Structure 1
Amino acid sequence: MKTTEETKEQLATQFLTGLKNRDWQLMRSALADNVTWTLPGTSLLSGPAIGAEAVIKRANQLRDFGVMLKLNHILYGLDSVALSLHNTASRGDLLLDEQVAIVCDIVDGKISRIVTHLSDVEGINNFFVDGVI
């Protein structure tokens, strides 16, 4: 069954609003139980997060590091939706200033896979490190 643009936008909005507001119940409502989220690099947050609870844990860690998210665009695919974001954060002299694309595959009306693409992988490797939060 084809996913409508309205459903894609609703799921993208639930995911992003949940992330921005730490509303994990809202975010959870958009996720399949077996969702995966991959993030490039070697940082504390890099690699796969497998399952809805692991995805929410990663989202919470992003917010713990003080990342501010600005939505540039929502982009629609056949069975996916992508969020074009500008993420920023600072800690001491360290700045995170990142263009991000988060691609969400949708199966049966839920986000089943999240793939993050970054403009500066080395930037996240330096910013998201153990022992900071």
Structure 2
Amino acid sequence: MTTHEAALALGRTFHQALVSGDWEGIRAVLHDDATWTLPGDNTISGTAKGADAVVERAQRIASYGLNFELLHVLVSRENMALSLHNTAHRKDAVLDEHLTTACRLRDGKIASIETYLSDVPGMNAFFV
């Protein structure tokens, strides 16, 4: 398998684990010292440090009932990114955002994640 094929497969694995709530599957693709940084000022913002904290963040995000629509898995020479359209509805809030979750890879696993959002104020209003 080429480097870019491995990165594509890793991106698809991460997304499928997120969609299906396979927290052990997410944990399996992370380095122990992995981080995940999200913008904004809400319950999921900031940097989660360590693989367990990254999994907890994924669980917290999923607990809000999001639909994680995968638009593309993008690869660079050494890294991978997911292009997503996330939506969710509650009585008092609607989430409808496009985002890129950029993953820095190391030795075939995710070392760090940084998420770029189209609507930080909307995210802040939804994740209260």
Per the normalisation by structure 2, the TM-score is 0.96
Contact 2:83 2:99 in 1 (8 A): yes
Residue 17 (structure 1) aligns with: 16
- Rounded Cα–Cα distance in structure 1 between residues aligned with 2:108 and 2:78: 10
Aligned partner letter, 1:20: V
Residue 68 (structure 2) aligns with: 69
The 5 A counterparts of 1:49-60 are 49-60=48-59
Aligned partner letter, 2:35: T
Residue 84 (structure 1) aligns with: 83
- Rounded Cα–Cα distance in structure 2 between residues aligned with 1:31 and 1:7: 14
- Rounded Cα–Cα distance in structure 2 between residues aligned with 1:126 and 1:109: 35
Where do 5+ consecutive residues of structure 1 fail to align?
Answer: none
- Rounded Cα–Cα distance in structure 2 between residues aligned with 1:48 and 1:15: 18
Where do 5+ consecutive residues of structure 2 fail to align?
Answer: none
What secondary structure sits across from 1:65 in the alignment? coil
Q: How many residues align?
A: 127
Runs of 4+ in 1 over 3 A off after TM superposition: none
Residue 29 (structure 1) aligns with: 28
Q: Deviations over 1:38-96 (max 9, x none)?
A: 00000100000011110100100111101111011111112110100000001103110
Q: CA deviation at 1:14?
A: 1.7
Contact 2:12 2:73 in 1 (8 A): no
- Rounded Cα–Cα distance in structure 1 between residues aligned with 2:34 and 2:54: 8
